[in-house]
Amino acid sequence: MELSAFEYAALRTLTDPYKSKGRSESANLLNWFLENIYRLDETSADDCICDKSNDKGVDGIYIDHNFREIQILQSKIRQKSGATIGDVALKELSGTIDQFKDTASVQALLDGNANDELKKIIQRENILGLLESGYSVKAIFVTNATADHNGQQYLSSHGEINFWGREQIAKAYVDLDVEGGIDESFSFDVSYVDPLTYIVDDDVTAYVFPALGRELANLKGIEDGSLFSKNVRLSLGRTEVNKAISSTIDDNEIHNRFALFHNGIIILCDKANLDDGSLSVEGYTVVNGAQSLTTLHSKKDAITDDLRVFVRVIALNDDKLARLITRNSNNQNSIKPRDLRSNDDIMLRLQAEFAKETPEYALEVKRGERFDGVEVISNDLAGRMLLAFDLNEPWSCHQIYKVFDENYAKIWSRRELDAYRIVFMWRLFNIIREELDNIEERPLAKYTLTPYFLMHVISVVASKDEKAAAILRDLRKNWGDNVDKFLDVSRMIVRGLVIDLNYHVNNVNEDGYFDYKSVLKSPVSVKELTSELVSSFEKDVARGKAEGFGTEL
């Protein structure tokens, strides 16, 4: 991101989308910051912000459970070009966070005349309980300006304030190239038909007509997928739908009926013009019909002039409406929650970050996506690994829909979640899968939930060791030798855990049957088994029979 984007005149491009929420400009900047830098979803970002009179200097509160921090957010916009932030505003912020220095101060805030929105956030986030459990308090200052000499000096001596000025934000921002599509023009021959023209309003017009299959098969961007960049899923290969389309194309005797049993194709474009038997489109993308077009392209030599497909061309310049059309129109294959999330900013930002920060890996966010020369991690697997390791809920990892539905926000909408964390999970997961061969009960070794259960146990073991926990809190900073060592130690610990798991299973089997299918799906049973394995491991470390994270790190 260019620094010029934070000049006041340009800044409105970032903040204007939030104007409808009726907040101040500075609160809008904070909203943008939380979604684009902290990577929160819209609801989570809204929940953080309080922007009413008598907010006691608090523009928002974010709980960073990863670093065990209560973060007091404040945002300020400078309208004058070249304006800076001095120590005065930062001193005021120091006074603001003093209101959260201990439980007595927070209780006084709750008993005082602070606005209700601030009080509700304090109560909802259980700030009193977090302080009692040892959470520290940090201040986050967000601005479109830079810190002057006095401001920098104050920041250097007050570590409880994290300054996010234009330079820091621009460096951390991951740009999303989500426009995609084909930035060219294309003309459909409609001389044989009068397209149905539906003027929705001044900004949206739709055209419906049976397009020639040969024309559709030659659309640019089918082979490399760029034509389908906004589709919630790409071509899925040899699915039943694709096979049916292919067999129909092979039978040219029914080409004239093809349009009758095909769901049609939806093309969104920036502009469309119907004139003299030709419909020309500019800046277009296909949001429904990737499978059909891919199949048509692969079989284009078999297409006759009789084969036609109903097409809806929709000319619009409204991203929200475009996303709604995309979401609601995909119905040839069953749409899964993962598909509906594939164009979310959180997914796209993570995928872009992989390309930028860990180019030897790629994050697959759409079914049918293809990558060459890199190690591919699907986001459904990534979500389950995060659910097991970070959120300690391995018993839900067989329910993939939860990753993109009810658990979506708590899995993906977290500041600490980045490409490094997902790659780390992938490497640990592969280590665990290799060690599964040592589980004696083979059905248990092959059971879907077993590797996620062991990831969870490793997470619990690591959380009890400060050196290991410090690495996990900031994987980006520790990337390289520290992370490699952590994974090496994890392999040794997993081997020990597998031995103890074998003992547990054999001991249970003496009196009956170890019902792993029920145990690994039960939160209570998982917690009991985890406690037993961790306790056994800790005893081995104390007796010198095993090496823990602390010893090796």
Q: Are residues 491 and 403 in the same domain?
A: yes
**Is the residue at 490 inside a domain?**
yes
Task: Report the half-sphere exposure of 172 (CA within 13 A, side-chain side).
Answer: 18
**Is the residue at 511 inside a domain?**
yes
> Per the structure, how many domains does the chain have?
3
Please tell me the pTM assigned to this model: 0.68
Strands (E), 348-477: 361-364, 375-378
d(Cα 183, Cα 509) in Å, to the nearest integer?
A: 65
Q: Are residues 409 and 290 in the same domain?
A: no
* Statement: residue 178 has pLDDT above 60: no
**Is the residue at 530 inside a domain?**
yes
**Is the residue at 539 inside a domain?**
yes
3-state DSSP of 251-295: CHHHHHHHHHCCCCEEEEEEEEEEECCEEEEEEEEEEECHHHHHH
Q: Are residues 250 and 225 in the same domain?
A: yes
Q: What share of the chain is helix, strand, coil (3-state, %, to 5)?
A: 50, 15, 30
Q: Are residues 326 and 417 in the same domain?
A: no
Q: Which of 154, 172, 190 is the last residue of a domain?
A: 172
* Statement: residue 468 has pLDDT above 60: yes
pLDDT at 287: 85
Which phi and psi (to 5°) does residue 100 adopt? Answer: -120, 15
d(Cα 404, Cα 410) in Å, to the nearest integer?
A: 10
Q: Are residues 287 and 377 in the same domain?
A: no
pLDDT tens-digit map of 346-403: 898 999 999 999 999 999 998 778 888 999 999 999 999 999 999 999 999 988 888 8
* Statement: residue 231 has pLDDT above 60: no
d(Cα 257, Cα 384) in Å, to the nearest integer?
A: 44
Q: Are residues 328 and 363 in the same domain?
A: no
The confidence band for 180, taking pLDDT boundaries of 50, 70 and 90, is low
Q: Are residues 162 and 240 in the same domain?
A: no
Sequence-distant (≥ 6) Cβ neighbours of residue 190 within 8 angstroms: 209, 274, 277, 278, 279
Q: How far is CA 242 from CA 361, 368, 429, in A?
A: 29, 13, 33
Q: How far is CA 286 from CA 11, 266, 298, 317, in A?
A: 32, 6, 17, 15
**Is the residue at 340 inside a domain?**
no
Q: Are residues 301 and 187 in the same domain?
A: yes
* Statement: residue 235 has pLDDT above 60: no
Sequence-distant (≥ 6) Cβ neighbours of residue 319 within 8 angstroms: none
For the chain, the residue count is: 553
Question: Rounded mean pLDDT of 156-176?
Answer: 88
Sequence-distant (≥ 6) Cβ neighbours of residue 463 within 8 angstroms: 469
288: which 2 tokens?
């429904």
Q: Are 58 and 138 in contact (CB under 8 A)?
A: no
Angle made by CA atoms 69, 73, 77, in degrees to the nearest 5 = 155
d(Cα 43, Cα 40) in Å, to the nearest integer?
A: 8
- Number of neighbouring beta carbons within 10 Å of residue 38: 24
Q: Which of 296, 313, 335 is the last residue of a domain?
A: 335
pLDDT at 177: 47
d(Cα 12, Cα 14) in Å, to the nearest integer?
A: 5
Pick from 69-83, 130-144, 183-197, 244-258: least confident: 244-258
- Name the average pLDDT for the chain: 88
Question: Rounded mean pLDDT of 62-89?
Answer: 92
522: which 2 tokens?
């039960």
* Statement: residue 431 has pLDDT above 70: yes
The 8-class DSSP code of residue 406 comes to: T
Pairing of strands 265-275, 308-315: parallel
Q: Are residues 205 and 320 in the same domain?
A: yes
pLDDT at 512: 65
pLDDT at 238: 43
pLDDT at 76: 95
Q: Are residues 233 and 273 in the same domain?
A: yes
d(Cα 213, Cα 301) in Å, to the nearest integer?
A: 11
**Is the residue at 177 inside a domain?**
no
Instruction: Domain of residue 23: give its range.
Output: 3-172
Strand-pairing partners, residue 175, are: none
- Number of neighbouring beta carbons within 10 Å of residue 510: 6
Q: How far is CA 221 from CA 9, 229, 351, in A?
A: 36, 9, 20
Strand-pairing partners, residue 196, are: 208
Q: Are residues 11 and 118 in the same domain?
A: yes
Helix (H, G, I), strand (E, B) or coil at 394: helix
d(Cα 211, Cα 61) in Å, to the nearest integer?
A: 54
Q: Which of 311, 335, 359 is the last residue of a domain?
A: 335
The confidence band for 233, taking pLDDT boundaries of 50, 70 and 90, is very low
- Number of neighbouring beta carbons within 10 Å of residue 211: 23
Question: Rounded mean pLDDT of 183-195?
Answer: 93
**Is the residue at 358 inside a domain?**
yes
Q: Are 72 and 61 in contact (CB under 8 A)?
A: yes
Q: Are 71 and 64 in contact (CB under 8 A)?
A: yes
Nearest in space to 385 (alpha carbons), one of 428, 337, 434: 428
Sequence-distant (≥ 6) Cβ neighbours of residue 375 within 8 angstroms: 360, 361, 362, 426
pLDDT at 460: 96
**Is the residue at 219 inside a domain?**
yes
pLDDT tens-digit map of 11-29: 988 999 898 888 899 999 9
Q: How far is CA 471 from CA 383, 425, 451, 462, 468, in A?
A: 20, 13, 22, 10, 5
Q: Are 289 and 330 in contact (CB under 8 A)?
A: no
pLDDT at 256: 85
Q: Are residues 304 and 423 in the same domain?
A: no
d(Cα 414, Cα 138) in Å, to the nearest integer?
A: 17
Q: Are 400 and 380 in contact (CB under 8 A)?
A: yes
Q: Are 134 and 72 in contact (CB under 8 A)?
A: no
